[in-house]
Copies of this chain bind each other. A is one copy, B any other.
Amino acid sequence: MFEIEPAHLVRILDLLGTIVFGISGGVLAIRKKLDMFGVIVLALCAGLAGGVFRDLVIGASPPKAFQHGEFAFAAMSGGLLAFFALPLFSKLERPIFILDAMGLGLFAVSGCSIALSAGLAPMASIVLGVISAIGGGIVRDVLVGRVPVVFITGDIYAFAALGGASLYFGLLKLEISELIASILAVLFVFFLRVFSVRFKWKAPTSPWQ
């Protein structure tokens, strides 16, 4: 039933997540009337910026995205897909939402795991997991002069990443194996995203707003 190795599975999901984030960059770039180069750059930023920042912080140079060409390739493919086949993505809203939720969980957990392995403190590692997951989207939005959607929609998006990275760390503390902890934490993010959208859960805003 489960014949591919976990490491391969993670890599595949990682690349899929990068493509999906790349698509989100490309779609935004086209809406903002950027030219082809803008589309590619926004796709690269959306797909890679979070992980690049994480790697700079932990001192892993060159960052993974610059070390293995397939990540840049995945992000660019997402952007070019949007460039040439934008209408597709209104029809594919549902599968993209699913992939995005998976990418979010996976980037949060793998980011936290990479930071822990690099010897960072727990809280810093969890924060870095969140940054890995949402950093690309923030850079993407700032580049076109938009307040990052992750800050304003009230969606349980960054909170889901935060919950997933925290859960992952908590499970490791309980001496649960890394593989099981990863799977549980990614699933947690995934279902939290799905349920929060389904039941319209919202992040709180300040009572003084």
Contact = CB atoms under 8 A, between A and B. Distances in A.
B142 A39 contact: no
Contacts of A122: 69
A151 B29 contact: yes
B37 A150 contact: yes
Size range of the interface on A?
35 or more
A120 B35 contact: no
Q: Give the copy number.
A: 3
A33 B209 contact: yes
A118 interface: yes
A119 to B, nearest CB: 8
A191 interface: no
Contact of A59 (B32, B62, B83, B84): B62
A69 B30 contact: no
A127 B67 CA distance: 12
Contacts of A44: 127
A185 to B, nearest CB: 18
Contacts of A148: 38, 143
Nearest to A118: B62
A7 interface: no
Contacts of A6: none
Contacts of A151: 29, 34-35, 37-38, 41-42, 143-144
A158 B205 contact: no
Given A138-B143, A144-B147, A72 B124 contact: yes
B36 A124 contact: no
Interface string A48-90: 0000100011110111011111001100000000111111000
A203 interface: yes
A208 interface: yes
